[in-house]
A and B are shown apart, each in its own frame.
Chain A
Amino acid sequence: MTRVVNKWKDFVDELLAFKWILFGVVIYIYGLSAKEHMYVASLQTKLLLNKWDLLHKFFGDIYLILYFILPVFLYRSISIMMSDFDYAVLIRLGSYRSWVYATLVRLIQSASISIIVWGAVSLVLSIGAPSFAGWSPFSRLNASLSETQILQKFINSPILALVLHLALFVFSVSCIHLVLAILYVKWKNKGIVVFVAVFIWVYGVVSFKLLSPHSLFNLCHYLILHSGVAQFSNIWGSFAMVIGWMILLIWIVNRLDLNVKGYNWKYTAFIVLVVLALWSGMRENVGQTVWDQFLFMFIGGSRQAFYFKSFLCYWVLYFGVIYLVQLHLQTELSEMGYYKLVRYQSISRWFWAWYHKIMLYIGLYLFALALLALFILSLKRFSFDFHVSIDRSVTLLDMFYHFFVNGYLQVSFYVLFVFLISWLSKETFYSFVGIAILSFFMFPGLNNRGIIPSGLNSMAYLLTNDSIYRISTVLFLWNVFAIVFLLYVFSKQDLDF
């Protein structure tokens, strides 16, 4: 009990500290002039504002946040890290991961205090304005003169808007703190962390001043809700981005304590490439719905439509993952020996054990790919209407069937193909040559009957008059053929490594 009381006492002590009073004073002074502006705008439009307009102004003002609040938080974040990074503290926390979270908790405590102070000052400033009563007539104006005028179009209740805004802000600041803390743990160098913090601040200002307001790289979109809403035309874009970052950072934090020698960059590189491939697959001037773009992202090539760039994207998305499978296979086969086979008792049993895993991974990969594509599309202003506008004959069901079922069968065939060649030649590199040659049957004129299992899961086939069910049949038969052939090879071949 006394501990709880003590904690509260500490909290209140902290709240009344000189620095927070100073913090409040700065906001107050800035708020006075901001208030003035709001009243002028209200007079000019002859529409009445209320307390919500003022509160949203004080909490969401870009200049205030960018030039004052953000630097204060960056400073606080670094000062917490510096004071807490001590071997006596670390040994008690048990891991760097706990240390990062401990500093994050302290930062969030600071953030709560500052938000209390910030809120109190804002309330004082809004004394005299018309009282809280939903969105004011001023905020209902179809313009972007104030924070509320933007937010009112997307969120029903002003208090919810404020809560979401503060949540976004705290999330973003936490992300920044995590970045800095990770860097500090990795390099244990104050200079680097201070440099990065300054860089983040300068970047925030420069991206706000110099980039177009509709650039995804504008930091304000992720710190300030009304700015993000204006960018994405929905309230979730900013959150999606920030939470995406958060997940990535938490993943990194959870790996901080692992002694991984020579970090494996291949997955990171692959993800970056996949994002690039999907991003460059969008054709913004053709097709308005998300599903149109989804189709373009995976368009690949058919005998009637072929673009080199789409071909390269297909390579990255599908053969890229096959490349990872080959890397895996290479180690698997090189470690393959009697000792492993003895445990499995037969090659085919060993193969199934391996292939089971791969089959699961293919499914997960396709699923992740679809989610990633939709995530990227949510950052752009496409409509979420459930139809494909570029070709009305294509239903969404067709599209998903083609993407998942034919995609699955196609990738599964690639895996079997790669395995077969590696197994027969005892050298994984030849399977790489094989898959490269196989991919050329996507070129126009080489696969006129659509019976060679290469790139048959390209979305381009939806736009031709091929039946997607025929494609499934073809792919299914190839899979069966490959498996039968493999089993034949297994039964024929002597075991020799």
Chain B
Amino acid sequence: MPHILLDQVSKSFKGATIFENVNFAVEKGKIYGIIGPNGSGKSVLFKLICGFLFPDHGRVIVDGEELGVNKRFPSDFGIIIDRPGYIAGKTGFDNLKALALIRNKISDDKIKQTMRLVGLDPESTQKVKHYSLGMKQKLAIAQAIMEDQQTLILDEPFNALDADSVENIRNLLRKFKEEGRTILLTSHNQEDIDVLCDEVYRINRFKLEKVKK
């Protein structure tokens, strides 16, 4: 049974078709790359997988459960979709803490550890409104991985990161893959896709097409 399955999924917005009868299966423990031009529907795809949007036709099934029947959003997913909204007047740690409190599964130490992992200083008193774009991106990555989520849905995770940080995050993702986690990511940088992904798909004419590697 595939981990994530899109079954005959169609989606359109105000008459503009984005997807038509898409079938897509995601196996556990692999890194998937999605490429396509701007506006081709990469983040729509991710929103469908996460249950934020329902398909007009077809089903999205995660771990054997169809979204929208008993369950809305899949559990144990770490996501970066759109720009995460932060409480601008709080520190990075406080922001992560607020998110962690929702499920209340991890300790403060774990949050701090994750922050160091992505290259942020947990003890810093700098408020998020003074963060650079790259730091905000790191914070976004931190929230997606801090609870050891087994599936990561990352829309442009390398945006605004400097070369060292990109390398650092790539290594992190490789390590996660070895641990058996599943990762779906998009990037406009072909290199990220090439060096990381096991399978690459392109959005073309409302379908997902597998790209030969």
Contact = CB atoms under 8 A, between A and B. Distances in A.
Contacts of A88: 79-80, 84-85, 99, 140, 143-144
B69 A86 contact: no
A258 interface: yes
Interface in A69-98: 83, 85-97
B52 interface: yes
B82 A87 contact: yes
A87 B72 contact: no
Grouping DSSP codes into helix (H, G, I), strand (E, B) and loop, the A interface class, with mixed when no group exceeds half, is helix
Contacts of B82: 87
Given A89-B102, A90-B52, A257 B87 contact: no
Interface in B48-85: 50-52, 54, 56, 66-69, 71-73, 75, 77-82, 84-85
A62 B71 CA distance: 43
A356 B152 CA distance: 50
A86 B84 CA distance: 7
Interface residues of A, number: 19
A467 interface: no
Given A87-B50, A88-B79, A88-B143, A95 B71 contact: yes
Contacts of B85: 83, 85-86, 88
Contacts of A85: 85
A92 B54 contact: no
Contacts of A259: 54, 66-69
Nearest to A258: B68
Contacts of B14: none
B84 A91 contact: no
A90 B69 contact: no
Interface in B125-159: 140, 143-144
B103 interface: yes
A87 B52 contact: yes
A96 B72 contact: yes
A269 B12 CA distance: 28
Contacts of A92: 99, 102-103
Contacts of B52: 87, 90
A257 B144 CA distance: 23
Contacts of B54: 259
A341 to B, nearest CB: 29
Contacts of A87: 50, 52, 79, 81-82, 84
A89 B87 CA distance: 12
B50 A257 contact: no
Contacts of B71: 94-95, 257
Interface string A88-113: 11111111110000100000000000
Contacts of A89: 99, 102
A91 B72 contact: no
Contacts of B50: 87, 91
Interface centre among B56, B67, B73 (most CB of A within 10 A): B73
| 7 A-B pairs with least C-beta separation | A259-B68, A257-B72, A95-B72, A86-B85, A92-B102, A87-B81, A259-B54
Given A88-B85, A96-B72, A259-B54, 7 more contacts: A83-B85, A87-B50, A88-B84, A91-B50, A91-B79, A259-B66, A261-B56
22 contacts: A83-B85, A87-B52, A87-B81, A87-B82, A87-B84, A88-B79, A88-B99, A88-B140, A89-B102, A91-B77, A91-B78, A91-B79, A94-B72, A94-B75, A96-B72, A97-B72, A102-B102, A257-B51, A258-B69, A259-B67, A259-B68, A259-B69
